[in-house]
Chains A and B, each alone.
Chain A
Amino acid sequence: MSIIAMVLVVIIAFFAGMEGILDEFQIHQPLVSATLIGLVTGHLTAGIMLGGSLQMIALGWANIGAAVAPDIALASVASSIIMVKGGNFTSTGIGVAVASAIPLAVAGLFLTMIVRTIAVGLTHGADAAAKEGKYQTIERLHLVGILLQGLRIAIPAGLLIAIPASAVQAALTAMPDWLTGGMTIGGGMVVAVGYAMVINMMATREVWPFFAIGFALAAVSQLTLIALGAIGVSLALIYINLSKMGGNNGGGSNGGNSGDPVGDILNQY
């Protein structure tokens, strides 16, 4: 990697780290961050492919409430760097990079927890500033919080870049075939955990039939994802319209079991 490429990778890592907590522009998602790192290091296609593979694994990972999902920002940034330094841009090289991302995603969890604990101090700083009516201090403290989240990824990325490429390559080639092959097999199966998390969140007796329809239709390999998406949207619209026509369960149900938990909570409020 040239010096310019290294600096750009650290900057991307910094943005990915900030986005990992903000969760707005989605720069930390592997599709975006791995592609950007591929772009600045001159391995765009391999970066896109790595991003696609990681994205498949991370589809169901999300921060909910106070819980933090495995750290996809560190995983995608670090595994992209490992792939570029390893110099193997075939599907095997990408597979190894994907497998290396998993322990990194777990390690990243601890970094996030550390920063979130440090941020408690920022809150107390903000309290003190509020007493004085000082806006700028609160704004600055908030920006410090965001910067810390950026550094959370930028520093590990910088360290990883500093390790000589030959060492990374040696470590990767020292991996025996059963390990890389087994990791690739594991990588194919591991996506199921992410899907299971999402299904557990959404599944009700009412929507299970749609799961069955989706599974059966997906086996028809001529149907693209866009076609399947169109079928899914239509099914949802048809179902909602039909349930309004037939069920006679429309407006004015004030009871505690209108089937709409959100409405019930708000009505009680």
Chain B
Amino acid sequence: MTEKIELTRNDRLSVAWRSQFLQGSWNYERMQNVGWAYTLIPAIKKLYTTKEDRTAALKRHLEFFNTHPYVASPIIGVTLALEEERANGAAIDDTAIQGVKIGMMGPLAGIGDPVFWFTVRPILGALGASLALSGNILGPILFFVLWNLIRMSFIWYTQEFGYRAGSAITQDLSGGLLKDITKGASILGMFILAVLVERWVSIKFAVSLPAKKLAEGAYINFPNGSVTGGKLQQILADQASGLSLTKMAPNTLQANLDSLIPGLMGLLLTFLAMWLLKKKVSPIVMIIGIFIFGILMRVLHIM
């Protein structure tokens, strides 16, 4: 028996660094396969010394692979553990390694997409964008720094977790913690999405409705002729307390809608878009349609 070959922390760091380029040569045939092999090359170099072993390892890692790019990290960790055992003589065949990869990539992608693309990025993006809209440089900086802190710690610690747990991770994954994280993310996500719909879908009708005649006492009755100091003081106080200067109050469609709840039309538009998406209408068709609709509304002076 020869000495046990182990992957050092540096080897694992090198793999984690490379895993950031996982999607680089994404292709329609085997998707992330070349990126996956690229990621594992430092480990393969360390573990296998003969040409036959290396060729076999490269081939086995050029098989089809596709998942969310960050949750690939725990899978990489498990694969490192399995490859290490195999290099030290354990009977782990190609099918076992391939089985772990394929078995984990689907369920994990199902966690990565909602958590990263649909919760963390929209929330950080909205936070940054709302600052950026007024030209505040903190907007982009906050978004960039926070995102990369979260991402880098996630890929390193989950890869380490996968490496230590080895194939046992598949049992851990079905535990309660992960269930809580996905549920918590979807609760937070739905809450924030509602906020975004209310705040950022902007629909303003320019239509004005006939002006309302105000009741006696709701407007200031200006005296005819000259005004004394005391009378002027009273008029100014009346105006400050919210009385109208004219007998007629301007009335718009938008003000009436806002008195129900602000953002109502945006909500209805969002529901319409959700319904159309379920009817398999392409989002791009919808986006173009909305622009055409906007131009029409402008031409007709409705919005």
| CB atoms of A185 and B298 under 8 A apart | yes
| CB atoms of A23 and B110 under 8 A apart | no
Within 8 A of B (CB), among A176-232: 178-179, 181-204, 206-208, 210-219, 225-226, 228-229, 231-232
Instruction: Flag whether B161 is at the interface (Cβ < 8 A).
Output: no
| CB atoms of B290 and A186 under 8 A apart | yes
Alpha-carbon gap, A206 to B188, bound state (A): 12
Could you tell me the distance in whole angstroms from the C-beta of A99 to the nearest C-beta in chain B?
7
| CB atoms of B183 and A240 under 8 A apart | yes
Which of A62, A102, A182, A185 is in CB contact (< 8 Å) with B287? A102
| CB atoms of A193 and B184 under 8 A apart | no
Could you tell me the distance in whole angstroms from the C-beta of B264 to the nearest C-beta in chain A?
9
> Which of A7-15, A78-86, A131-139, A153-161 contacts its partner?
A131-139
Instruction: Flag whether A164 is at the interface (Cβ < 8 A).
Output: no
Which of A31, A116, A182, A208 is in CB contact (< 8 Å) with B143? A31
Which DSSP category, helix, strand, loop or mixed, fits chain B's interface?
A: helix
| CB atoms of A210 and B191 under 8 A apart | yes
Alpha-carbon gap, A250 to B277, bound state (A): 35
- Across-interface contacts of A131 in B (CB, < 8 A): 55, 59
Could you tell me the distance in whole angstroms from the C-beta of A241 to the nearest C-beta in chain B?
9
Could you tell me the distance in whole angstroms from the C-beta of B174 to the nearest C-beta in chain A?
4
Instruction: Flag whether A97 is at the interface (Cβ < 8 A).
Output: no
| CB atoms of A225 and B130 under 8 A apart | yes
| CB atoms of A123 and B33 under 8 A apart | yes
Knowing A35-B132, A195-B270, A202-B118, the reply to whether A141 touches B34 (Cβ < 8 A) is: yes
- Across-interface contacts of B148 in A (CB, < 8 A): 25-26
How many residue pairs, one in A and one in B, have C-beta atoms under 8 Å apart? 392
Instruction: Flag whether B218 is at the interface (Cβ < 8 A).
Output: no
- Across-interface contacts of A260 in B (CB, < 8 A): 174, 179
Closest A residue to B59 by beta carbon equals A130
Instruction: Flag whether A96 is at the interface (Cβ < 8 A).
Output: no
Which of A122, A203, A265 is in CB contact (< 8 Å) with B190? A203
| CB atoms of A218 and B195 under 8 A apart | yes
- Across-interface contacts of A181 in B (CB, < 8 A): 298
Could you tell me the distance in whole angstroms from the C-beta of A145 to the nearest C-beta in chain B?
3
Q: In the complex, which range does the number of interface residues on chain B fall in?
A: 35 or more
| CB atoms of A214 and B174 under 8 A apart | no
| CB atoms of B27 and A214 under 8 A apart | no
- Across-interface contacts of B214 in A (CB, < 8 A): none
Q: What does the 1/0 interface line of B240-266 toward A look like (CB < 8 Å)?
A: 000000000000000000000111001
Could you tell me the distance in whole angstroms from the C-beta of B296 to the nearest C-beta in chain A?
7
- Across-interface contacts of B55 in A (CB, < 8 A): 130-133
- Across-interface contacts of B121 in A (CB, < 8 A): 26, 59, 62
Interface centre among A117, A183, A190 (most CB of B within 10 A): A190
Could you tell me the distance in whole angstroms from the C-beta of B55 to the nearest C-beta in chain A?
4
Q: What does the 1/0 interface line of A64-79 toward B look like (CB < 8 Å)?
A: 1110001000000000
Alpha-carbon gap, A59 to B54, bound state (A): 43
Residues of B in contact with A (beta carbons under 8 Å apart): 20-31, 33-35, 37-38, 41, 44-45, 51, 54-55, 58-59, 62, 66, 69, 103, 106-107, 109-111, 113-114, 117-118, 121-123, 125-137, 139-140, 143-144, 147-148, 151, 170-171, 173-176, 178-180, 182-204, 261-263, 266-267, 269-271, 273-274, 276-278, 283-284, 286-288, 290-299, 303
